[in-house]
Structure 1
Amino acid sequence: MATPRSKAGTKGVPRQQRQEQILAAATQEFGTHGYWGASLGSIAARVGVTKTLLHQYFGTKEDLYLACLTPVGDRLLAAIRTAVGDQGATGRTPLRVLHALFTALEGQRESWFVVYDTSLPPDGEATRRAAQYWSAIDAIAAEGTAELLGAAGSDDPLDADVLAYAWQGLVATLVRWWVKHPDQSPEDMTRRCARLFAVAGALTPYGDHHE
């Protein structure tokens, strides 16, 4: 008699390995469908275990989400901090940050949407923890954009605010495009961004033609 799918592979697999399998499947499920759309049943089926085992390992749906969020959020923050470094932002910093993000997400690109999940409940530990990552990443972006503007001769805080806001939107848009183009490696995307930045930099400044 064939072994039922829900029981397949539940025996003989070390606990640590099984946890890693569940986290990988849950990260993909949360990243693809969002917190509210994610199904514990689907996660269990991906791994070949029961929902009961899922609860035994990780507790509630929110607990499982948090177990996925922490390593992804930590990895993204570490990548950004390393790319920025201790010397302050320069003209090459945006590309270094993008390459670091693409590299950190490679192999699990949808994990970006685990951190930036718009379907999280308005209250609760999941939203609080995700917001901590948002705030930390936003703070790095705000500091970097202010440094770039300062080097370019602008000390207007509204300029810095607009640029930080635009940068956050640009990064999110680039990642979304990249997720839809799995053939594009982190290096491919970084080179593509470099070309796009070069084109943007070559555009005629507003003040040269505005009267």
Structure 2
Amino acid sequence: MATPSSKAGTKGVPREHRARQMLDAATEEFGTRGYAAASLPAIAARVGVTKTLLHQYFGTKEDLYVACLVPVGDRLLGAVRAAMGPDPATARTPLRVLHALFTALEGQREAWFVLYDRTLPTDGEAARLAGEYWAAIDRLAAAGTADLLRGAGSTDPLDADALMYVWRDLVATLVRWWVKHPEQTPEAMTRRCARLFAAAATLAAEDGR
């Protein structure tokens, strides 16, 4: 997750390339520090441009955040949808979803915190859009957990609701751990999750005897 080149502000850089550098720097700043603490001067400094130029390209701080949020949200939501596929969830679905998320975040892991940023102003466009992405991902999680529980013989809707909350927090916790361990590849993380799930299943089986 290297900081973009400081030469982005030099003359002759194509506009679309400079805009991409600004968005990459902003995603890193927002994802690392959160919306409330992120600084437009710091973002501009990352790419060697002025704060004025940043405003000219993207407008306000919230406008810039939205410009970062939408591609992140689309990428992660698309990854979950593709991993779940058209068929009911199976025992392997959670690992497929996790691998898809890790793969989608690789190279820009802090982007997760752009989507899930609790410091966003609650009455702004960024919070509204983030909420729409959260709701869409939660709907997929709810459908997947309900399918898994039906396969295990449970049709209690409260079981499905509880498992969806557990899953949501588990994914967030795993991503946070992964961010702190940059040497871990998406494949290594997926294998680690498989081991953890297997251990949890063994403990649950022993507890149920």
- Give TM class, smaller chain: over 0.9
1:102 is matched with which residue?
Answer: 102
Paired positions, count = 204
2:30 equivalent to 1:30? yes
2:103 equivalent to 1:81? no
Percent identity of equivalent pairs: 73
Name stretches of at least 5 consecutive residues in structure 1 with no aligned partner.
1-5
1:142 is matched with which residue?
Answer: 142
What is the CA–CA distance in structure 1 between the aligned matches of 2:87 and 2:7, rounded to whole Å?
54
Contact 2:9 2:18 in 1 (8 A): no
Q: In the TM superposition, what is the alpha-carbon distance from 1:10 to its structure 2 partner?
A: 3.1
2:188 is matched with which residue?
Answer: 188
2:15 is matched with which residue?
Answer: 15
- CA RMSD of superposed structures (Å): 1.4
Write out per-residue CA displacement over residues 84-140 of structure 1, whole angstroms, 9 at most, x where no aligned residue. 000121000000000000000000000000000010001110110000000000000
What is the CA–CA distance in structure 1 between the aligned matches of 2:132 and 2:144, rounded to whole Å?
19
Instruction: Give the counterpart letter for 1:104 in structure 2.
Output: A
Specify the SS of the correspondent of 2:36.
helix
Q: In the TM superposition, what is the alpha-carbon distance from 1:207 to its structure 2 partner?
A: 6.9
TM-score, length of structure 1 as denominator length: 0.94
What is the CA–CA distance in structure 2 between the aligned matches of 1:146 and 1:136, rounded to whole Å?
16
Write out per-residue CA displacement over residues 59-92 of structure 1, whole angstroms, 9 at most, x where no aligned residue. 0000000000000000001100000000121000
What is the CA–CA distance in structure 1 between the aligned matches of 2:25 and 2:119, rounded to whole Å?
19
Higher Cα Rg: structure 1 or 2? 1
Q: In the TM superposition, what is the alpha-carbon distance from 1:205 to its structure 2 partner?
A: 3.6
1:43 is matched with which residue?
Answer: 43
1:111 is matched with which residue?
Answer: 111
Contact 1:26 1:64 in 2 (8 A): yes
TM-score, length of structure 2 as denominator length: 0.95
Instruction: Give the counterpart letter for 1:61 in structure 2.
Output: K
Instruction: Give the counterpart letter for 1:109 in structure 2.
Output: R
